Chains A and B, each alone.
Chain A
Amino acid sequence: MLPRVESQPMSTDPLYNEFVIKFGNVNGSGSASANTFAARALFRMGIPVSAKNIFPSNIQGMPTWYEIRASEAGNLARRDGIDVMVAMNPQTYERDIKDVIPGGTLLYDSSWPRQFGRTDIEILGIPFAKLVAKVYQDPRQRQLFKNIAYLGAMTLLLNIDVDVVTGLLAEQFRSKPQLIGPNVQALEIGREYLRANPPSTLPVQARASQAAAGKILINGNEAAALGAIYAGATVASWYPITPSTSLAEAFEKHTNLLRRNDDGTLRAAVIQAEDELSAIGMAIGANWNGARAFTATSGPGISLMSEFLGLAYFAEIPLVLFDIQRGGPSTGMPTRTQQSDILACAYASHGDTKHVLLFPADPGECFTFSADAFDLSDRLQTPVIVLSDLDIGMNDWVVDEFNWSKNRRHDRGKLLSSSELENLEDFARYRDVDGDAIPYRTIPGTHADKGSYFTRGTSHNEYGGYTEDGVLHAETLKRLSRKFETAATIVPKPVIYTRSTKSRLGVINIGSTDHAVREALEHFAADGQGINHMRIRSFPFTDEVISFAHEHDFIFVIEQNRDAQLRTLLIIEADISSKKLVPILNFDGMPLTAVGIYEAITLVLQSNPSVVKAISAPLSLV
């Protein structure tokens, strides 16, 4: 049985480095940086953390939350059951207090004292607004420094190393050193109050650790942007949309640092397009012309980009597209996470189209898959869509340090140089010369009289000439289908954890759900229930995916959408029997928890041996 986090341990010894802090704030009040400092300070103390920013699609005034889970053991999925609630938004007091586990702590601004009606938790009031008002006159400063003041209180309550926090402040305000003093002063406001009014020791405490050694704390969008830089991408065309915006902005920030010539010019072009149609058009145009180019978007952008995706597929133009998925359909929940663009991306555009998809699980894979996507796209001469999501893209995760082998060479695929063209008797852009269904391509301006062709979305012969010959058209479509088979041999393979070769049960998942899935499966293992696990990392599905499906009788397919899209893709594309694929679905926009997965699977197992019956009634975690 999973030890549900229901109450603090009875022991008088504090529990070290295993806790969840939740901050309830008003958005636009500057709380984000204070909360981020708390996560970063814990990480610098060597404790693995995960941070989930649960924010509204709004500029100012609406509720926003920030959760930090610290876990020495490395369990970094979101966890319900809050140990310490920092309640700074009276609008949400009522629901925030419910989240605190018995024995937990609620810290609030007691400038306006209040009864919370719970006796099983520690209520700690500090009059932050009044304390801050004594020191600062400017209303905006009062608002901002109140955040730093509660951060100061947190350092004492949880034993967060205050020197680490002041170090972070100093780094943050390196270019505005006049702000360091007032920030440190604000930290002390919270600390001084607690020194004068010491509370009892909290049952959870932080302490320095080595568990996060060799790790970095980074969000997936910045990681993907760095991957694109390492891949040699030079053109980024994009249109602002949450949650992908920060990917393009990170690419711009890092190109300014890493791609500047001595004369001040840049070895990159980052262009904000007028819409998603133009964004993808520019990326396709640049790839056609031999640069490595990408665009980044989210669900609504995928809908708009579909026509161009079909062109790139049919005309065989490389393209890397990052889809940072959010809650759909339509405008949906722009600031919540989902995995609901799987089918829209796999088959984007009219006619027979299929696209290569990569499913990174964390910022570490955002970096590597981003770099790999450019190679794959050049080699396969087709769009590669990196399906990340808001949880990975915008939240800070602890991952292994990035690594780039000195021996790594970029693979531009079958791209003919001028001298290669010179020695070629007959160039046909769409001829399958090597039997892998991947033709040779040229870029404009390469050779004076060889290698030119006409790129088109209309049906074409081997030379790129217009054709209405149905036989030729069918041949092209069949070759593209074979090219997809080639793709299945070079895309990233799944990660498989085999607990028992005898187990009939398996779990399949993709992407950001992985921490929650692994934590849940650890608990099943502790119960004596060995469930094998495969995290799929790409589409088309590799042979390993099909083998795993054959080796298990019942497979739970865990994904964050209503319609079991990954399961559908497995049924259609890997010919896996729908009877053995049990959907475990979540689509409320929140990152999954291990408890939620454990309970959903347990419910199916309890109805065993009639698991089949459960298949006809998909389970929802919502």
Chain B
Amino acid sequence: MTHIVKPAFKHPNLPRNALGFTHREYEGVVSTLCAGCGHDSVTAAIIEACFELSIAPHRVAKLSGIGCSSKTPNYFLNRAHGFNTVHGRMPSIATGANLANRDLVYIGVSGDGDSASIGLGQFCHVIRRQLDMTYIIENNGTYGLTKGQFSATNDRASKSRRGTENPFGAIDLAVIAIELGAGFVARSFSGDKTQLVPLIKAAMAYNGFALIDVISPCVTFNNHAASTKSYDYVRQHNEIVDHIDFVPDADAITVNYAEGETVSVALHDGSRIALHKISDDYDPRDQLNVLTSLRRDRGEGKVTTGLLYIDEAGGDLHSAMRTSTEPLNAYAMEDLCPGSDKLTEINAQFR
């Protein structure tokens, strides 16, 4: 089967953003995922976030590995170049791409098999290098394309469709990311668009590595009563630690939260996150307490969501490596090739 292109028809009264684009300019081809797949909701949230941020679609590079999640970059931003790489290796492709052109916006979409198993090494190292990208994990605890094997994010004792109990503990990618120095770490739920869209917007505006671990139930293989990655389970156990509003640059902060409960976090592009704290003792800027709190929630079977951790200072690979502010792929060859006269000097070094 080849991919299905959406019809070009566009309602004349569709809302337009600052670039004059409607949502249609941010869409991709028709999804071939199962009806009701959580991943399609994440796709919709990415489209909404890019539309609301008025990002020029062609200035985005969208990358993925292999798996159901990794198909999704085809379903948003048709005008952006996409790269469906090999299993578990999207981070290295994203790193090279970003080194070549620091001016694009990088969105990586991965899954729990792609990031927590085969790609755990690359996942860790892209975080360690603080690559400036938004890394979205569509986490369903299962291998969908190969029909329902447990993944490494599946909780211990969670059951498969056939009733087999998972004997191993889960890898919590959000906790790993915080430990390894990710500057922006969030968890969300594909069924919670009001939480997910502002998180994606803030992640894209963040300068540095931004992770969103999205629990995204697999309707076919992991949405039954005994699963801890089902729609029902997540809805019942969702522990929301904060609500965030993403406030673009120059807009006044107008949020409806009570005084004292709202924290305003500045991002590097001038935009801000207005953070409404639900719990008094949860401050996403306090790494030590965040990790303690996440461990406690986990022990209690809660799925903690929201902006879990933010390092306001940020920082990325290019500043660490001192690469030029001009994208490397924009230099003319004359600026890169030292030329024949210089070669005479170089030859002299080897006499």
List residues of chain A with CB under 8 Å of any chain B CB.
Answer: 43-44, 216-218, 226, 229-235, 237, 258-259, 261, 263-269, 271, 273-275, 277-291, 293, 307-308, 311, 401-406, 409-410, 442-449, 452-458, 461, 465-469
Q: Known: A267-B331, A269-B323, A293-B100. Is A457-B3 also a contact (CB below 8 A)?
A: no
A interface: dominant SS: loop
What's the minimum C-beta distance from A278 to chain B, rounded to whole angstroms?
4
We find that the number of chain B residues with CB closer than 8 angstroms to chain A is: 60
Q: Chain A residues with Cβ under 8 A from B36's Cβ?
A: none
Please state if A291 and B100 are interface contacts (CB–CB under 8 Å). yes
Q: What are 9 of the A-B contact pairs (CB < 8 Å)?
A: A230-B343, A235-B96, A261-B324, A265-B325, A266-B321, A274-B125, A311-B85, A454-B84, A466-B74
Please state if B93 and A288 are interface contacts (CB–CB under 8 Å). yes
Q: Known: A217-B351, A232-B336, A466-B74. Is A461-B94 also a contact (CB below 8 A)?
A: no
Bound together, the chains give a CA A235 to CA B92 distance in angstroms of 13
State which of A291, A403, A455 has its C-beta within 8 Å of the C-beta of B328.
A291
Bound together, the chains give a CA A445 to CA B323 distance in angstroms of 20
Q: Known: A444-B101, A445-B101. Is A285-B351 also a contact (CB below 8 A)?
A: no
Bound together, the chains give a CA A465 to CA B1 distance in angstroms of 10
Q: Known: A265-B325, A266-B323, A449-B58. Is A234-B81 also a contact (CB below 8 A)?
A: no
Please state if A269 and B321 are interface contacts (CB–CB under 8 Å). yes
Bound together, the chains give a CA A271 to CA B317 distance in angstroms of 10
Any chain A CB within 8 A of the CB of B322? yes
- Which residues in chain B, 56-74, are within 8 Å of chain A measured between CB atoms? 56, 58-59, 61, 73-74
Any chain A CB within 8 A of the CB of B347? yes
Q: Chain A residues with Cβ under 8 A from B333's Cβ?
A: 232, 409-410
Q: Chain B residues with Cβ under 8 A from A279's Cβ?
A: 92
The 4 A-B pairs with the shortest beta carbon distances in the complex, nearest first, are A281-B92, A285-B96, A291-B100, A282-B96
Q: Chain A residues with Cβ under 8 A from B265's Cβ?
A: none
Q: Known: A282-B96, A448-B56, A452-B58. Is A290-B101 also a contact (CB below 8 A)?
A: yes
Bound together, the chains give a CA A166 to CA B81 distance in angstroms of 59
Output the nearest chain B residue to A236 by Cβ-Cβ distance.
B99
List residues of chain B with CB under 8 Å of any chain A CB.
Answer: 1-3, 29, 56, 58-59, 61, 73-74, 78-86, 89, 91-101, 103-104, 121-122, 124-125, 129, 321-326, 328-329, 331, 333, 335-340, 342-343, 346-347, 350-351
Bound together, the chains give a CA A456 to CA B83 distance in angstroms of 6
Please state if A218 and B350 are interface contacts (CB–CB under 8 Å). yes
What's the minimum C-beta distance from A122 to chain B, rounded to whole angstroms?
33
What's the minimum C-beta distance from B171 to chain A, rounded to whole angstroms?
18
Please state if B343 and A404 are interface contacts (CB–CB under 8 Å). yes
Please state if B96 and A259 are interface contacts (CB–CB under 8 Å). no
Output the nearest chain B residue to A171 by Cβ-Cβ distance.
B349
Q: Known: A216-B350, A217-B351. Is A235-B99 also a contact (CB below 8 A)?
A: yes
Output the nearest chain A residue to B66 by Cβ-Cβ distance.
A457
Please state if A461 and B99 are interface contacts (CB–CB under 8 Å). no
Please state if A230 and B338 are interface contacts (CB–CB under 8 Å). yes
Please state if B346 and A307 are interface contacts (CB–CB under 8 Å). no
Which of the listed residues B125, B323, B346 has the most CB atoms from chain A within 10 Å of its own CB? B346
Q: Chain B residues with Cβ under 8 A from A229's Cβ?
A: 336-338
What's the minimum C-beta distance from A438 to chain B, rounded to whole angstroms?
19
Output the nearest chain B residue to A456 by Cβ-Cβ distance.
B84
Please state if A458 and B336 are interface contacts (CB–CB under 8 Å). no
Q: Chain A residues with Cβ under 8 A from B325's Cβ?
A: 263, 265
Please state if A455 and B329 are interface contacts (CB–CB under 8 Å). no
State which of A259, A291, A442, A457 has its C-beta within 8 Å of the C-beta of B99.
A291
Q: Chain B residues with Cβ under 8 A from A443's Cβ?
A: 81, 329
Please state if A454 and B85 are interface contacts (CB–CB under 8 Å). no
Please state if A289 and B351 are interface contacts (CB–CB under 8 Å). no
Please state if B104 and A258 are interface contacts (CB–CB under 8 Å). no
Please state if B79 and A448 are interface contacts (CB–CB under 8 Å). yes
Bound together, the chains give a CA A570 to CA B92 distance in angstroms of 36
Q: Chain A residues with Cβ under 8 A from B74's Cβ?
A: 454, 466
Bound together, the chains give a CA A524 to CA B23 distance in angstroms of 77
Please state if B323 and A265 are interface contacts (CB–CB under 8 Å). yes
Please state if B350 and A217 are interface contacts (CB–CB under 8 Å). yes
Please state if B329 and A466 are interface contacts (CB–CB under 8 Å). no
Q: Chain A residues with Cβ under 8 A from B342's Cβ?
A: 258
Please state if B80 and A444 are interface contacts (CB–CB under 8 Å). yes
Q: Chain A residues with Cβ under 8 A from B59's Cβ?
A: 445
Q: Chain B residues with Cβ under 8 A from A269's Cβ?
A: 99, 321, 323, 328
Output the nearest chain B residue to A307 by Cβ-Cβ distance.
B86
Please state if B84 and A405 are interface contacts (CB–CB under 8 Å). no
What's the minimum C-beta distance from A281 to chain B, rounded to whole angstroms?
3
Please state if A466 and B2 are interface contacts (CB–CB under 8 Å). yes
Q: Chain A residues with Cβ under 8 A from B1's Cβ?
A: 466-468
What's the minimum C-beta distance from A497 to chain B, rounded to whole angstroms?
27
Q: Chain A residues with Cβ under 8 A from B58's Cβ?
A: 444-449, 452
Bound together, the chains give a CA A456 to CA B130 distance in angstroms of 25
Output the nearest chain A residue to B321 by Cβ-Cβ distance.
A269
Bound together, the chains give a CA A273 to CA B343 distance in angstroms of 30
Please state if A311 and B99 are interface contacts (CB–CB under 8 Å). no
Q: Known: A235-B100, A466-B3. Is A285-B86 also a contact (CB below 8 A)?
A: no
Please state if B335 and A267 are interface contacts (CB–CB under 8 Å). yes
Q: Known: A216-B351, A290-B101, A410-B337. Is A452-B79 also a contact (CB below 8 A)?
A: yes
Please state if A282 and B331 are interface contacts (CB–CB under 8 Å). no
Please state if B61 and A274 are interface contacts (CB–CB under 8 Å). no
Bound together, the chains give a CA A96 to CA B271 distance in angstroms of 72
Bound together, the chains give a CA A465 to CA B99 distance in angstroms of 27
What's the minimum C-beta distance from A39 to chain B, rounded to whole angstroms?
12
Please state if B2 and A465 are interface contacts (CB–CB under 8 Å). yes
Output the nearest chain A residue to B122 by Cβ-Cβ distance.
A278
Q: Known: A269-B323, A449-B58, A455-B82. Is A406-B340 also a contact (CB below 8 A)?
A: yes
Output the nearest chain A residue to B129 by Cβ-Cβ distance.
A271
State which of A259, A289, A445 has its C-beta within 8 Å of the C-beta of B336.
A259
What's the minimum C-beta distance from A223 to chain B, rounded to whole angstroms?
9
Q: Known: A277-B92, A311-B85, A405-B340. Is A291-B351 also a contact (CB below 8 A)?
A: no
Bound together, the chains give a CA A259 to CA B58 distance in angstroms of 29
Output the nearest chain A residue to B81 by Cβ-Cβ distance.
A444
What's the minimum C-beta distance from B173 to chain A, rounded to whole angstroms?
17
What's the minimum C-beta distance from B66 to chain A, rounded to whole angstroms?
8
What's the minimum C-beta distance from B123 to chain A, rounded to whole angstroms?
11
Output the nearest chain B residue to A446 by Cβ-Cβ distance.
B58
State which of A261, A264, A291, A404 has its C-beta within 8 Å of the C-beta of B101.
A291
Q: Known: A271-B321, A291-B329, A452-B58. Is A285-B346 also a contact (CB below 8 A)?
A: no
Output the nearest chain B residue to A281 by Cβ-Cβ distance.
B92
Bound together, the chains give a CA A230 to CA B124 distance in angstroms of 34
Beyond A265-B322, A277-B89, A281-B122, 16 additional contacts (C-beta under 8 Å) are A216-B347, A233-B336, A258-B338, A265-B324, A278-B89, A280-B92, A285-B92, A286-B97, A289-B104, A291-B101, A403-B343, A405-B340, A445-B101, A446-B58, A452-B82, A465-B29
What's the minimum C-beta distance from A401 to chain B, rounded to whole angstroms?
5
State which of A216, A282, A447 has its C-beta within 8 Å of the C-beta of B92.
A282
Q: Known: A265-B322, A281-B93, A285-B93. Is A235-B347 also a contact (CB below 8 A)?
A: no
What's the minimum C-beta distance from A453 to chain B, rounded to whole angstroms?
7
Output the nearest chain B residue to A442 by Cβ-Cβ distance.
B81
Q: Chain B residues with Cβ under 8 A from A457's Cβ?
A: 84-86
Bound together, the chains give a CA A405 to CA B337 distance in angstroms of 12
Bound together, the chains give a CA A308 to CA B61 distance in angstroms of 19
What's the minimum C-beta distance from B142 to chain A, rounded to whole angstroms?
21
What's the minimum C-beta distance from B60 to chain A, rounded to whole angstroms?
8
Bound together, the chains give a CA A406 to CA B331 distance in angstroms of 19
Please state if A271 and B99 are interface contacts (CB–CB under 8 Å). yes
What's the minimum C-beta distance from B18 to chain A, rounded to whole angstroms?
15
Please state if B328 and A285 are interface contacts (CB–CB under 8 Å). no
Bound together, the chains give a CA A433 to CA B97 distance in angstroms of 27
Please state if A266 and B322 are interface contacts (CB–CB under 8 Å). yes
Which of the listed residues A268, A281, A288 has the most CB atoms from chain B within 10 Å of its own CB? A281
Q: Chain B residues with Cβ under 8 A from A467's Cβ?
A: 1-2
Please state if A284 and B93 are interface contacts (CB–CB under 8 Å). yes
Q: Chain A residues with Cβ under 8 A from B96's Cβ?
A: 235, 237, 281-289, 293
